[in-house]
């Protein structure tokens, strides 16, 4: 059989009614890495670490709620039939667009309350965010919940474990290893962000480039996935990614325009 066989049980062990999953471990590891990197970047710009922690906690809570809510709404029929699974975040099922939206709003409000400049803190957060996403995607490899369509490529993933979340129709056949594709894209994006952060950029530009870069990756890579077609022959994730990409590019243009020397001079004229 062509492809790489994934026969790993997503559940590491059961303790009473609790199931410890690989997804949970990589999710927590990604959060810890993100928090450490955000603290390190914030320290470089002189931001109090306690304030950063407070903002991070609010962003985490807001992000988890939004990510789970978007996922549940996307698969509403299943969760209406199985409402007890709605809160089982440890099984997987977090929509990153929902997390970025609600987590971003929560972080913005928390940063303002802490007396921080939201855009400045957002720029300091992108390295940790993208690195944490890469670690978190490792759990999806085992889970089988971010699967691609069938492929004849020799690097396709063949899920054989009964506990994998991939649909039964795709079990036992090579599928595009979507999580690996996204990790590679995110790695390239991380390299670009590490390069750009050493440059003197307007506040907020690094964050907007991160959002635009990730949205472009999601739009492109989702062509190998099999999800609900929403409009124009595009899957739901692609439509959202396209909208986010356009908004991010508008933001980039606005940030660059408002920081032009001529604009700054006009702003201080009486």
**Does residue 143 contact residue 165 with C-beta atoms inside 8 Å?**
yes
Residue tagged 């977090």 (tokens)? 94
User: Above 80 in pLDDT, residue 198?
Assistant: yes
Query: Which neighbouring-strand residues pair with 263?
Result: none
Q: What is the pLDDT of residues 154-171, one digit of tens each?
A: 999 999 999 888 888 899
Specify the pLDDT at position 264. Answer: 47
Q: Is the pLDDT of residue 81 over 70?
A: yes
Q: pLDDT by residue (tens digit) across 220-260?
A: 998 988 776 777 788 878 888 899 999 999 999 988 887 76
Above 60 in pLDDT, residue 265? Answer: no
pLDDT digits (tens, 9 = 90+) for 112-158: 888 888 888 889 889 999 999 999 899 889 988 888 989 989 999 99
With a cut of 70, say whether residue 261 has pLDDT above it: no
For residue 79 the two structure tokens come to 């969760």
| CA–CA separation, 5 and 260 (whole Å) | 54
Q: Which of 182, 76, 88 is nearest to 135 (CA)?
A: 182
CA distance 228 to 241: 14
* pLDDT, averaged across the chain: 85
């Amino acid at each position: 059989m062509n492809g790489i066989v994934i026969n790993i049980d997503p559940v590491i062990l059961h303790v009473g009614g609790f199931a410890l999953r690989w997804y949970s471990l990589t999710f927590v590891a990604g959060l810890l890495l993100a928090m450490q990197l955000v603290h390190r970047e914030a320290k470089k710009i002189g931001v109090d670490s306690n304030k950063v922690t407070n903002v991070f906690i609010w962003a985490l809570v807001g992000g988890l709620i939004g990510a789970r809510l978007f996922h549940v709404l996307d698969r509403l029929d299943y969760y209406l039939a199985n409402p007890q699974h709605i809160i089982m975040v440890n099984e997987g099922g977090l929509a990153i667009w929902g997390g970025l939206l609600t987590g971003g709003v929560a972080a913005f409000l928390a940063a303002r309350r802490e007396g921080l400049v939201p855009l400045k803190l957002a720029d300091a957060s992108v390295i940790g965010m993208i690195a944490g996403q890469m670690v978190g995607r490792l759990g999806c490899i085992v889970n089988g919940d971010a699967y691609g369509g069938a492929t004849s490529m020799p690097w396709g993933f063949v899920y054989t474990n009964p506990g994998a979340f991939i649909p039964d129709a795709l079990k036992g056949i090579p599928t595009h290893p979507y999580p690996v594709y996204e990790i590679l894209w995110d790695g390239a994006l991380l390299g670009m962000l590490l390069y750009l952060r050493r440059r003197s950029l307007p506040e907020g530009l690094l964050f907007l480039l991160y959002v635009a870069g990730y949205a472009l990756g999601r739009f492109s890579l989702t062509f190998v996935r099999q999800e609900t077609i929403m409009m124009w022959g595009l899957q739901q994730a692609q439509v959202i990614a396209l909208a986010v990409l356009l908004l991010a590019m508008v933001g980039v243009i606005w940030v660059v325009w408002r920081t032009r020397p001529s604009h700054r001079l006009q702003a201080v004229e009486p």
